[in-house]
Structure 1
Amino acid sequence: MSDSELQEQFMKLDNLVDHQELNDELQSLDDLLGELQEEEEAAPVKTPEPRVHWRKRDIDGNIVYARPRSSRNQSDKADHIQKTDPPINAPDTNCEVTFAPETVECFLQDLQHSLSDISDDEASPLGTSRDPLPASSSWSTRQSLFSERWRTEIPRLVNTAVAQGNVATRICQQCGSNPAAVWCCDCRPLSFFCAECDVSMHTRHVLHNRDATTPGFYQPLPPTTFVVDKALSHCGKFWFIPDKICGCSSESLRLSPGKTVAVITMNGRYDLSMPELSWAAGVVDLNRSDYWSATLHFATIYATDVFFSFEEMKMAAPRLSCQAFVRMLDQRTVRFGRTGKISTDSFQKSFF
């Protein structure tokens, strides 16, 4: 075989090798394109998120703008002047919420589920909602819980107060042997007395407020009334008794009711008697004991605590009248089983 023929054979062989390599490269490219198409088909389609534009409104439904009206008007004029500016893809101001078309149906379904959850929460009773708000983060929740607990607690408090007014058989807390006949709200904590202990205690403390328990209920007693043989008995009660008058022994002195006086304290009016001995109490003696005479003949006597209390209430409530304060003292007089009215003019003159 000549050299020319060999050269031709080699050239044909080279062409065949090049053609085979080209076919292999094309086949690999086809395989790569097929794999890419399969991956694209298998990948999930991402839907664009809805574009939401919320508008703030007041309780009447009117739109609340973040800028004042003057700046809005200036910005509107500037928009009309600059007509040559390129358009801006902004949401429509007449529409509060805008969505992409392909997500409208999904958004409506989510909105319907949310509304159904809200209606279920409103229909469920207090404390049984599926996800209740913590009481520490919601003022309305705390108020509703407080009201609920208070409504459930009121019947128990009322029953306790009513049961407290029931007069039960008690023993005197002074002697510990006789049945109690009087309850004194100023002798706490040992406030139950038999008839004998009541006389010995409250001849010295005439301004205490007492209730008789013998009628089967708590009956307010004036200071001049005692319980004798389970019945109410009237006797003179001395109000102002000094510790010592003269050098005579206390056993040799006899007390008798003297001039009637009306003693007024923060608990109202007390109708009592001055003691009558060889010595008589005067205005100076009353002043030394923190009392103030309303008249020259001291027919009405005020405890100085009444004036201080009225002054403090007047400072806290300047519109409080003197007449209203005196009427309050009259109500306290009736509250503790006593009678008599307090003169507004007498109180006003004594105060000023």
Structure 2
Amino acid sequence: MHAEAKAELKHRQQAIGELVRPLQESLKRYEEQLCQIERSRQSAYGGLDQHLQRLQQETGNLAKALRSPTVRGRWGEITLKRVAELAGMVAHCDFVEQPQVETDEGRLRPDMVVHLPNGRQIVVDAKAVLGAYLEALDTPDESRRQEQLRRHAAQIRSHMEQLSAKAYWSQFPKAPEFVVLFLPGEHFLGAALDQDRTLIEDGFARRILLATPTTLIALLHAVAYGWRQELLSEHAELAGRLGKELFDRMVVLAEHLGEVGQALGRSVQAYNKAVGSIESRVLPTARKFKELGIAAEKDIPPLEPIESAPRPAPPAE
């Protein structure tokens, strides 16, 4: 009895083991997948952390470089040129970079002069005003941050006043009486306007137009459109001149053809007179040779007058 119970228990344990084995295998595979996912996550997070560290380092290097006035100025000039190219303009054709102008007070050199149709020009000066702005970004103190932003707005106003004093419009007679002050970022102007809301109006009063990449692209697009319209106008004018020249030459050709027709008419008249003279005077005498028995091997063929005449050329209207 005891042996039978023991055998029955073993049999049931085996049956239960068979039932549980697939679940154990599934749990094992699930555990392996979790381990693989965790290893992948750690690897991905490690790579992301490296990218973030590298990005932070590069951002720090950029911010450090932009603290240099020379680097900021060059960055502003490059951004200005890129904006002009994005607007469809070509260097040395549609705009010139840093042309030099000699004045009584010294040498002036704006960052860019944009050529307009009819020989007009727009003077653009790029200013990367970033010193106080970068200080505002670095400070965690809000009052200190607002102080630096007010200083940033004051720096832009100072550049605006200095640029107005240069009066580029008097050095470029074909330029309108304003100069574009280009700021290479929308946020630079936005941060300044938050502190000094009269910057744009005061700029207009000083003949200075504050522009960012967005507004300058719109302005240069208008200039490029004007160039295209000017080119179309020049082509239309050239087509008109060519059409007039072609018509004048066609008149001369028609006159020449009329002279040729008249000459052909006179030739036909002379030919018909010659045929008439041969028929009335030459051939009767020649036929008498045949009557006298002095016959040639061939007869003289008849000559027919030309009845048609050249069509007269129509008069030129």
* TM class, shorter-length: under 0.3
Relative contact order, higher structure (CA 8 A, sep 6+): 2
TM-score (norm 1): 0.23
Q: Which has the higher helix share?
A: 2
Q: Which has the higher strand share?
A: 1
